Amino acid sequence: MKEYDIEIPLKNIEVLSKLRIRDKIYLTGEIFVFRDQVHKKIANSEIDQITKINFYNSAIYYCAATQAKEGFIIGSCGPTSAYRMDKYTEDILKLGVKIMVGKGYRGQEVVSLCKKYKSIYCITYGGCGAFLNRFVEEAKILAYPELSTEALYMFKVKDFPCIVSVDIYGGKIWR
């Protein structure tokens, strides 16, 4: 297991070729944050609100953060079970997303898509949303504000911890 600091959006996707399952990465930069409802909108071509967003070489974090308490940038922001996004994964990879972050396993189709699109899936600490918010330096809604906590957010993160669970070669941490 190796450790890597990764800047998002990726300036050079070659860094993904170095990563293997079980490697620990720390994301720094801007990551998109959304889950089921935004995925459905993209799949249904309801994309008017995101046409000016550049997803190229970006990262997405499957999360629905809670409202910030006084003195905090964001509330609890733990990962969502990513398997629920499996049927929408190719839609976001076609937009240029290279790193997906959530919790739990992904189906074999997603493993194959990671290989096809040279993208990775990472897990982060489930059940630790109050801990993960300390890595968020800024949070703002970019699109679909009507979805409330499931809107499309942009988090500016510093050293956000993840573990590579599916690499670009089709390696996966589960059987």
Q: What is the pLDDT of residues 80-101, one digit of tens each?
A: 999 999 999 999 999 999 999 9
Place of tokens 């096809």: 116
Distance from the Cα of residue 60 to its chain's centroid: 2
- 173 part of a folded domain: no
User: Model-level pTM greater than 0.75?
Assistant: yes
What gap in Å lies between CA 82 and CA 98, rounded to an integer?
Answer: 15
H helix intervals, the chain: 15-18, 36-43, 89-94, 108-117, 129-132
Count the domains in the chain: 1
Residue 85's Cβ-side half-sphere holds a number of Cα atoms within 13 Å equal to 31
- 175 part of a folded domain: no
102 to each of 60, 161, 168, how far by Cα in Å?
9, 11, 17
155-167 average pLDDT score? 98
| Chain length of the chain | 175
- 142 part of a folded domain: yes
- 103 part of a folded domain: yes
Could you tell me the CATH number of the domain that includes residue 22?
3.20.130.10
- 51 part of a folded domain: yes
Residue 99's Cβ-side half-sphere holds a number of Cα atoms within 13 Å equal to 34
3-state helix, strand, coil in the chain (%, to 5): 30, 35, 40
Q: Residue 71: what pLDDT?
A: 84
Q: Residue 131: what pLDDT?
A: 84
Q: How does DSSP classify residue 69?
A: P
Q: Tell me the two tokens of residue 145.
A: 């504000």
- Residue 86: give the domain boundaries: 3-166
Q: Residue 135: what pLDDT?
A: 94
- 172 part of a folded domain: no
- 8 part of a folded domain: yes
Q: Which helix (H) or strand (E) holds 26?
A: strand 24-33
148 burial level (CB within 10 Å; 0-12, 13-18, 19+): exposed
pLDDT at 172 over 90: yes
